[in-house]
Structure 1
Amino acid sequence: MAATVEKAEQAAIHAEANVFPVAPVITNTDDRDEDGDTKPAAGLDASNLPNYDDAETKRVLRKVDYRLVPMLVLLYLICFVDKGNIGNAKVAGMNTDLKLTDSQYNLALMIFFIPYCLFEIPSNVVLKLIRPSYWLAILLSAWGTVMTLHGIVQSAGGLIAVRFVLGMCEAGFFPAAAYLLGEWYCRFELQRRVSMLFVSASLSGAISGLLGFALELMDGVGGLEGWRWIFIIEGIFTVLVGVLLPWTLPDSPELCSFLTPAEKLFIRQRLEQDSGTSAGRLQTQESFQWRYVTSTLSDWRIWFTIFIFWGNTVAVYSFTFTAPTIILELGYTAAKAQLLTIPIYVTGAIFTFAMAWLADRRRTRWPFVVGPYTVALVGFLGVMATPKEKYPGVVYFWLFFIPGGVYAAVATLVSWVSNNLSPTWKRAIGIATCIMIGNMGGIVGTNIYIAKQAPYYWTGYGISLGFLLNAICCTFVLRHVWSKANKQRDLLSEDEIFATYTEQELLDMGDRSPLYRYVL
């Protein structure tokens, strides 16, 4: 009886699915003909690739956008506010009240990143084994509790301890968010959604400044200093959001309640077709195998994406934790320094989204890593070259170049990594590996702004410049390697490929399949 019901349900799903274009027309490159229209890449048949522009496709994806993206944006915003508010607490008097030395403060910043890096891959493995909304609810509730405990620490040792535990609890969120987006969207729909996370990360700097300014005014309430209320209020809010996640965060197309059966099937079919060629297919629901771990960790290209990621983490974490202090040292009051961070991060958010929109529209990635990193590089050079005492306003102007450049570049990079890894287990592990080791740049970034070098910070600015230059060089290497692989695969005929491999072997090969095309 159960089998009969199941067959009937499947028949209904497939019957309803006929209203959607299962094999729509799309072109998969940014080349244009003389009329300005996109044309297919040489050697590719565009007749069976997923449609990114069809009206019905847009209607279905809007339903996903309204339910999934705002929740992930909110969670990422909370994550970055909670991670970076220690910089605002410092300006509000935390270091003085806890009698922290410069080395103790830097240690508190650095210790966060050790568990933050180590627990990202294990967290994404757990994410594949239980419902994402349950796992993320556990993570948010845990780190919100730890954030609240920041507000009652009484010594350097206590601060260092809670920062370590916070890193452990926050570790799994971003790899999970990046992976979840790849479970819903095809390759050239992805970056605009990923960029919204980094827009929220950039805005978190503005919100942290505003909250830091407002909560500092609670100084004396309940007998507590204002900086303690920054941690307590923000931590309580995080816990409340975490508790609600099982009811507010969609887990997967199969488990969501806001799509019809036909729409669920339609999303899954599009993801399976998103290999870059008409004959290629991707596995989207494969079981775990250890070879996905070994093949990911042994892929040298993953390590080059990590080097590119370091261009972000070394620069952005050092900047996030130090920006209020840099502005304070330009001659502004502590309250104005908090507020003056806001326009910097708002500008960065706008730039990040604009770059993502262009990258998806042009259907390419590498220029949108190199370009934004170059913008950030110019910002660091400007800050270093401008006399601080004579031109504080000009120094403040150069600061606008930094967040937008590093956030926009890493938003593109995360999309690029997700675009070029298959099947889903390899993507989950690859994204987590890139982010895990990439975030180790935070260990460097939190130790390069040396207090005795204020207000020039030659070491901090110089090391950031070096990592940005290295990231740009590594981007050109990956662009060359993936372009060469695509050209070699274009020389193979489909008849030759299917005579050599079975369909299951091609599916198991994932991005190593000769039918797969890398995004450049």
Structure 2
Amino acid sequence: MTTYKEKDVEDASHIEDPSLDKPSVNSGILILEISENEKQKILRKVDWRLIPLLTFLYLVAFIDRSNIGNAKIAGLNSQLKLHGLQYNAAVTLFYVPYTLLEIPSNIVLKMMRPSRWITILLFSWGIVMTFMGFVSSYSGLLAARWFLGVAEAGFFPAAAYLLTIWYKRYEYQRRFAIFYSMASMAGAFSGLLAYAIEKMDGIGGRAGWQWIFILEGLVPCACAFFMWKVLPDSPETATFLEKHEREFIVDRIAAETGSGQGRVTNSDKIGLKHILAAFKEWKIWALIPVFWGNTVGVYGFTATVPTVIEELGYTAANAQLLTIPIYVFAVILILSFAYLSDKYQVRWLYIVLAYSIAVAGYIAQLVIPHPKYPGVTYGFLFPIAGGMYAGFSPMLSWAANNIAPSSKRAVGMALLISVGNMGAIAGSNVYLAREAPKYPTGFGASFGFLCLGILMAVILRFAYARENKRRDRLVEELGGEQGVRARYSEQELLDMGDRSPFFRYTL
């Protein structure tokens, strides 16, 4: 077995040849010293292969699930004769299978090649989205939204998990933030695309809102024909990396226990014990209210914000365009908070700061008399979007950092995302048409869940810190690293995952 050591090099004369193995003085195993330049070169290769693919796919997925908000003001409601809460029901129905199938999907992901499973999902939701452009009744719309939820359910938890097997703890969030920022940019692209596609109204006997669904559904169908070939499955099988580069990626991730001692594994085969361990992990359940702070607000906001802007007195076309700056601002905040969170190696603080920004925006929306000050009202939509979106990436990164081994992480992250996304069901139903343009129920419920999220993030932070200190004492009582290894075999320590005495939680 070869173990790799990252070597920070300031003077080029000290750079070791990364192609040479160097015997370790202490262990007798081979250690390959990797210079900082070589390390960055390898990570850039991974970045350019993995991040653009997952980011693009998430952009497509989020546009396809949220474009119903654009279709609504492009004529969907009037042509299908929707009334009362029917639109809300159509938005909500997507999230029922979407939340129920995320855990089974990640189990399948661990049992087959991820590239093939994601390609199946991609093609499936593209087909459903395309045929949404042919619905002619409320019941047809409901059926299409249901099957769209079935098809899209597995992609986000799969992508969020896959990043964890390639990057170390404090490299993960910056990459995830780029990927996740497409949820925000999807709002901007969706508004821009809808503005352009809506002008096809009447072509082929189809309304503008129908063309929005058709054209935005054909994109994932086309992508499915090559995605299975170009999306890498794991570091161990990555053909775009050299052998020593693959080994370097695998080994550095295995050493990520947070204490500098012991190892974790990403090559474990999923079993019932991993599924049960994830469901029994109270820290995952404690993080779910933090997740709801995002989903209750984001999904209701995404589906409603074009209507909110339109009811401030803007035309439907301008309402589509005015959503773009809001989402661009959110992307800036997502990336900024991710950079700072990784740099200072802390998660909880950036959740609290981001959610606090969104709280301020909701308070403003609740007290400003609508639609008396449209410019001010529009301006305070920016902190709402920015704060909610920026708080999500440190929250999910927190979970990714603190669950091991990989099978438990795959199920645990899917569980968190699944139950967390149930907040979308609430979020889709709290913006009531009869309360326009002030939407006190929608803004008030989102405000309340954000406050709950802030509280739970603080509680969890102190729980993690207390457990880290307990394990420090345990290792000391057992006689240090050697004492722990005398008590437990290497396989037992790997099987323990985040329960290992060597594992330390990220705060």
- Per the normalisation by structure 1, the TM-score is 0.90
Among residues 375, 380, 386, which one is paired with 2:368 in the alignment? 386
SS in 2 for 1:22: strand
Matched, 1:176 2:158: yes
Aligned-partner residue type, residue 184 of structure 1: W
Indicate conservation of the 8 Å contact 2:6/2:34, yes or no: no
- Match in the other structure for 1:511: 498
Among residues 307, 312, 333, which one is paired with 1:330 in the alignment? 312
- Match in the other structure for 2:134: 152
- Match in the other structure for 1:367: 349
Indicate conservation of the 8 Å contact 2:355/2:450, yes or no: yes
- Match in the other structure for 1:498: 485
Deviation for aligned residue 1:51 = 11
User: For 1:189-338, what aligned pairs fall within 5 Å after superposition?
Assistant: 189-338=171-320
Indicate conservation of the 8 Å contact 1:52/1:189, yes or no: no
1: CA distance, partners of 2:179 / 2:378: 25
- Match in the other structure for 2:385: 403
SS in 2 for 1:230: helix
Which structure 1 residue ranges, 5 or more long, are not aligned? 1-13, 27-49
Q: 1:53 to 1:442 in 2, by over 3 A?
A: farther
**Identity across the alignment (%):** 49
Structure 1, residues 416-458: CA drift from partner, whole Å, max 9, x if none?
1010000000000000000011001011001001111111111
Cα RMSD (Å): 1.7
Among residues 97, 100, 103, which one is paired with 1:118 in the alignment? 100
- Match in the other structure for 2:170: 188
Deviation for aligned residue 1:499 = 3.3
Indicate conservation of the 8 Å contact 2:5/2:34, yes or no: no
Indicate conservation of the 8 Å contact 2:172/2:397, yes or no: yes
Matched, 1:165 2:167: no
Deviation for aligned residue 1:52 = 11
SS in 2 for 1:400: helix
Q: 1:52 to 1:192 in 2, by over 3 A?
A: farther
Deviation for aligned residue 1:74 = 0.1
1: CA distance, partners of 2:350 / 2:40: 24
2: CA distance, partners of 1:406 / 1:352: 9
2: CA distance, partners of 1:244 / 1:402: 37
- Match in the other structure for 2:69: 87
- Match in the other structure for 1:458: 440
Aligned-partner residue type, residue 515 of structure 1: F
1: CA distance, partners of 2:257 / 2:282: 21
- Match in the other structure for 1:69: 51
Deviation for aligned residue 1:53 = 9.3
1: CA distance, partners of 2:485 / 2:494: 12
- Per the normalisation by structure 2, the TM-score is 0.92
1: CA distance, partners of 2:72 / 2:340: 38
- Match in the other structure for 1:39: none
Matched, 1:413 2:395: yes
2: CA distance, partners of 1:518 / 1:56: 29
4+ runs deviating over 3 angstroms: 50-53
Aligned-partner residue type, residue 490 of structure 2: E
2: CA distance, partners of 1:281 / 1:97: 59
2: CA distance, partners of 1:283 / 1:316: 34
Aligned residues: 480
SS in 2 for 1:23: strand
2: CA distance, partners of 1:197 / 1:457: 31
Deviation for aligned residue 1:108 = 0.5
Deviation for aligned residue 1:130 = 1.1
Matched, 1:427 2:418: no
Which structure 2 residue ranges, 5 or more long, are not aligned? 9-31
Aligned-partner residue type, residue 511 of structure 1: D
Indicate conservation of the 8 Å contact 2:371/2:437, yes or no: no
Among residues 122, 125, 137, which one is paired with 1:140 in the alignment? 122
- Match in the other structure for 2:17: none
Among residues 315, 327, 331, which one is paired with 1:345 in the alignment? 327
Deviation for aligned residue 1:25 = 6.2
2: CA distance, partners of 1:261 / 1:57: 14
Indicate conservation of the 8 Å contact 1:423/1:510, yes or no: yes
Deviation for aligned residue 1:55 = 2.5
Deviates more, 1:267-276 or 1:286-295: 286-295
SS in 1 for 2:235: coil
2: CA distance, partners of 1:196 / 1:67: 14
Indicate conservation of the 8 Å contact 1:187/1:419, yes or no: yes
Indicate conservation of the 8 Å contact 1:51/1:57, yes or no: no
SS in 1 for 2:4: coil
Structure 1, residues 215-262: CA drift from partner, whole Å, max 9, x if none?
100001011110000000000111111221112211111222210000
Aligned-partner residue type, residue 150 of structure 1: M
Indicate conservation of the 8 Å contact 2:4/2:34, yes or no: no
Aligned-partner residue type, residue 345 of structure 1: Y
- Match in the other structure for 1:488: 470
2: CA distance, partners of 1:254 / 1:386: 56
2: CA distance, partners of 1:488 / 1:71: 41
Deviation for aligned residue 1:388 = 2.0
Structure 1, residues 317-339: CA drift from partner, whole Å, max 9, x if none?
00000000000000000000000
2: CA distance, partners of 1:513 / 1:189: 22
Indicate conservation of the 8 Å contact 1:198/1:408, yes or no: no
- Match in the other structure for 2:24: none
Aligned-partner residue type, residue 91 of structure 1: I
Deviation for aligned residue 1:275 = 0.5
SS in 2 for 1:102: coil
Aligned-partner residue type, residue 120 of structure 1: E
Structure 1, residues 474-503: CA drift from partner, whole Å, max 9, x if none?
101110010001111122222432233222
Q: 1:292 to 1:51 in 2, by over 3 A?
A: farther
